[in-house]
Amino acid sequence: MLYLGCHLSASAGYLAMGETALSIGANTFQFFTRNPRGGDAKPLDLDDAAKLNALLEVNGFGKLIAHAPYTLNPCSAKPEVRDFAYRVFKDDLARMEAVPGNYYNFHPGSHVGQGIEAGIDQIVEIVNRVLTPELHTTILLETMSGKGSEVGSSFEELRAIIDRTECSDRIGVCLDTCHVSDAGYDIVGDLDGVLAEFDRVIGLERLKALHLNDSKNPRGARKDRHACIGEGTIGRETFRRIVNHPALKQLPMCLETPTDLEGYAREIALLRSFEA
């Protein structure tokens, strides 16, 4: 079974997201834990979360992906920004206990001129402070496109973060198709080779989820501009191979393409039609 979904608004609450997902043919979804451009989070409604958990179980959903706000930068050059990242990260993981057993995805961040090694050290310092054994959420490092001073555009950088964390058994990777292509990995011409490289460097057992996005850029552009499925340089046939790949087809796959809810429904139907 394919677990396909998209990014949904959390503004109407947990149960509403689950019901919206069902209405567009999704059996997983992604959501922001709070305002993606700020730090505010709605009060946690445990009853609403419990209703979502029941809906997920009855309808056989795959793992959900909560996405950290874009303002979370654990390797900023500014101490106050790193402190904000720590506080948001810690609070989000506590909130995720209301929907236990799912994923919390975050962008490793931008080192802003400090250098990759310093950035990795700062990311690890915060992850080690917030990720504790009693939590029921797995943290996902997202593969990045490499624009600016981003950390995480190479498998080696992600591996370095994983190797230095204390609860590394609770850390996985979310592979974004647009990002890895923009970072230079040839998923169009050599998907198997890219996955073999991921396995060699990180280990396929750590690959927990996918963001399915076409790209407006040529491979290696290091820009990060998403396109709808089949409307970019990655193309439909690559996504056909992805949803049928034995190493990938059981993972939750969420769209982050530039479209609306009806567009997501069409893309989910298209991806399901690819299933062999």
Residues in CB range of 139: below 8 A, 6 or more apart: 93, 103, 104, 105, 106, 127, 131, 170, 171, 172
Render pLDDT for 20-33 as a digit per residue (tens, 0 to 9). Answer: 999 999 999 999 99
Q: Is the pLDDT at 11 greater than 80, yes or no?
A: yes
Burial of 38: CB neighbours in 10 Å, binned 0-12, 13-18, 19+: exposed
In this predicted structure, the answer to whether residue 38 has a pLDDT above a threshold of 90 is no
Predicted local confidence at residue 36, as pLDDT: 85
Per-residue pLDDT reduced to its tens digit, 234-248? 999 999 999 999 999
Mean pLDDT of the chain: 97
- Return d(Cα 122, Cα 181) in angstroms, integer: 26
Q: With bands split at pLDDT 50, 70 and 90, how would you rate the model's confidence at 110?
A: very high
Q: What is the pLDDT of residue 56?
A: 98
Question: How far is the C-alpha of 105 from the C-alpha of 70, rounded, in Å?
Answer: 11
First-to-final CA distance of the chain: 11
In the chain, % of residues over pLDDT 70 = 100
pLDDT band at 124 (very low <50, low <70, confident <90, very high): very high
- Residue 86, pLDDT > 90, answer yes
Q: Hey, how many other C-beta atoms are within 10 angstroms of the C-beta on 27?
A: 18
Mean pLDDT of 208-226: 97
Quick one: pLDDT at residue 37?
82
pLDDT tens, 160-211? Answer: 999 999 999 999 999 999 999 999 999 999 999 999 999 999 999 999 999 9
Give the residue numbers annotated as catalytic, written as ranges: 37, 67, 70, 107, 142, 176, 179, 211, 224, 226, 256
- Is pLDDT above 90 for 39? no
Residue-level pLDDT at 163: 97
Which domains, ranges and CATH numbers included, belong to the chain? 3-274 (3.20.20.150)
pLDDT over 90 at 40, yes or no: no
**pTM of the predicted model as reported, rounded to 2 decimal places:** 0.97
Calculate mean pLDDT across residues 145-156.
96
What per-residue confidence (pLDDT) applies to 114? 93
Residue 70 Cα distances to 32, 180, 185, angstroms: 9, 19, 24
Q: Which two tokens stand for residue 240?
A: 């056909």
Enclosing H/E stretch for 211 = strand 207-212
The answer to whether 61 touches 19, Cβ cutoff 8 Å, is: no
**What pLDDT, on a 0 to 100 scale, did the predictor assign at position 168?**
93
Residue 232: band (very low, low, confident or very high) from pLDDT cuts 50, 70, 90:
very high
CA distances from 55 to 37, 97, 143, 162 (A): 29, 17, 30, 33
pLDDT at 196: 98
Helix axes 236-244, 261-274, angle to 10 degrees: 60
